Structure 1
Amino acid sequence: MVKLEGKVAVITGGGKGIGAAITRELARNGVKVVVNYNKSREAADQLIAEIKENGGEGIAVQADVSTQEEANKLIAAAVEQYGRLDILVNNAGITRDRTFKKLSNEDWNEVINVNLNSVYYTTAAALPYITESDAGRIINISSIIGQAGGFGQTNYSAAKAGMIGFTKSLALELAKTGVTVNAICPGFIETDMLAEVPDNIREQIKAKIPARRFGHADEIARGVLYLCQDGEYITGQQLNINGGLYM
């Protein structure tokens, strides 16, 4: 088991939903957290205040990680604050769901930039520091949609599938350094994104899940903790947290 006390983690899209749950879980285990947000400043500031009230340590950094310059700024801020970087959680993501006939260039490019290109930008900036860590971890939050597809989600599915391919290839390259690279593929999780789905559609989705319920953000967070703490010999893998919906 790796001792996480004093380690430093950057969590993109860390102010709300799954990202916030990951941030809380790591902070509870002694990790100094750098919460990245783009527009959710209030939520990120409240999260950091909560973490500090509970004896943890962290900062919130605004950056649009869909651009290389902003991703570089985020990683630089983390290293300037704490002098090291051990864990990168690529969680930033958006949806612009449309059937392919209605999908615009903007819908495509925005989702690819935020969900996939950001993974390259943040990882490229963070890697020189993570490879110096005795517990380097890169964890990419992909999706069941990247594995099984989703109606009206060609852009989102392509981005999330791309994250999986990225994870496998980088894991091969970094295995000799001791840095592990893994993807977590959540199923349908109770977040603001799922709350926007009409009730009748939610019930149809739930009926297809063997566990007969939606997942919770803290269940994804515990998966991240497991990979950080106990995942020394786990790399290039997809951790499927989906109630049995995709096997």
Structure 2
Amino acid sequence: MKRTVLITGSSRGIGRATAKKFAIEGYNVIINYYKSKDKAYSLLEEVLSFGANAIVVQGDVSDRKQVEEMFKKSYEKFGNIDVLVNNAGIADMTLFTDVTKEQWQRMFDVNVNGMFNCCQCVLPKMISEKSGRIINIASIWGLVGASCEVHYSATKGAIISFTKALAKELGPSNILVNAIAPGAVDTDMIGGVSEEIREVLKEETPLGVIAKPEEIADVVYLLSTEETKLITGQVINPSGGFVIV
């Protein structure tokens, strides 16, 4: 029986690359998007061209009812979800003194509550089957913090603590929970950054690179494999050495 992965926020960036990686590896793929419908369906065409089975499910992960409907449709189609990748997230650069209550709340609603909603919806079946992988996308700023991104950093730090605690709770059910904390990745989130700043980021990275989404996707996939069956509660930091902890 084919294994199935659900990737939130998979219409672009790391999520898109991750969907393609799992498809190539033979998984059924559940593509989730909130607003980027055209990108989600273009991804579906790519995934199907690899010979994989896939569906697209729209939903705002911060809305519990929409998340429940997303999982209902997913189970109806594939019967099981073996891997959940909590990738959906938003970012924002604002001085902390200028962050509004609405900005703060929305950041937590998507980045943290979205992960909470998806985990609660996937876990009953995973626990009953004593099998599953949950991979949460955090950030190096969740490890060390970023100036002018306090609200973003706070959510990514919460993801890391959530991951460690949930891994301890789910270990007896043979469910592995890990987080990935990338550094600078060549996605829409740094798309507006000047070439000068990109060069600074490279210079501050020991490996001298800005990661490609596909390189992060490789790490996500690795955590779903049998070779990593003893790894849980960990924060993997594929940042090229930008942050070493």
What interval of TM-score do these two structures reach, taking the shorter chain for normalisation? Answer: over 0.9
Q: Is the 8 A contact 1:14 1:22 kept in 2?
A: yes
**In the alignment, which residue of structure 1 is the partner of 2:229?**
232
Q: Is the 8 A contact 1:85 1:133 kept in 2?
A: no
**What is the RMSD computed on CA atoms of the aligned residues?**
1.1
Does residue 165 (structure 1) correspond to residue 158 (structure 2)? The answer is no
Encode CA deviations 1:158-197: one digit per residue, 9 max, x unaligned: 0000000000000000101111000011110011111111
**In the alignment, which residue of structure 2 is the partner of 1:222?**
218
Mapped partners of 2:17, 2:141: distance in 1: 21
Give unpaired runs (5+ residues) of structure 2.
none
Report how far residue 121 of structure 1 moved: 0.4
Encode CA deviations 1:62-115: one digit per residue, 9 max, x unaligned: 000011111111111111111111110000011122011111111111111111
Q: Tell me the amino acid that sits aligned with residue 89 of structure 1.
A: V
Q: Is the 8 A contact 2:183 2:240 kept in 1?
A: yes
Give unpaired runs (5+ residues) of structure 1.
none
SS of match in other structure, 1:34: strand
Encode CA deviations 1:34-87: one digit per residue, 9 max, x unaligned: 011000111110111111112111001000001111111111111111111111
Q: Is the 8 A contact 2:23 2:50 kept in 1?
A: no
Q: Provide the TM-score with structure 2 as the length reference.
A: 0.96
**In the alignment, which residue of structure 2 is the partner of 1:35?**
31
Report how far residue 134 of structure 1 moved: 6.1
SS of match in other structure, 1:80: helix
Q: Tell me the amino acid that sits aligned with residue 158 of structure 1.
A: A
Q: Is the 8 A contact 2:127 2:175 kept in 1?
A: yes
Mapped partners of 1:133, 1:47: distance in 2: 30
SS of match in other structure, 1:35: strand
Q: Provide the TM-score with structure 1 as the length reference.
A: 0.95
SS of match in other structure, 2:224: helix
**In the alignment, which residue of structure 2 is the partner of 1:106?**
102
- Percent identity, aligned pairs only, is 37
Mapped partners of 1:95, 1:163: distance in 2: 14
Mapped partners of 2:158, 2:41: distance in 1: 31
Does residue 18 (structure 1) correspond to residue 23 (structure 2)? The answer is no
Does residue 65 (structure 1) correspond to residue 61 (structure 2)? The answer is yes
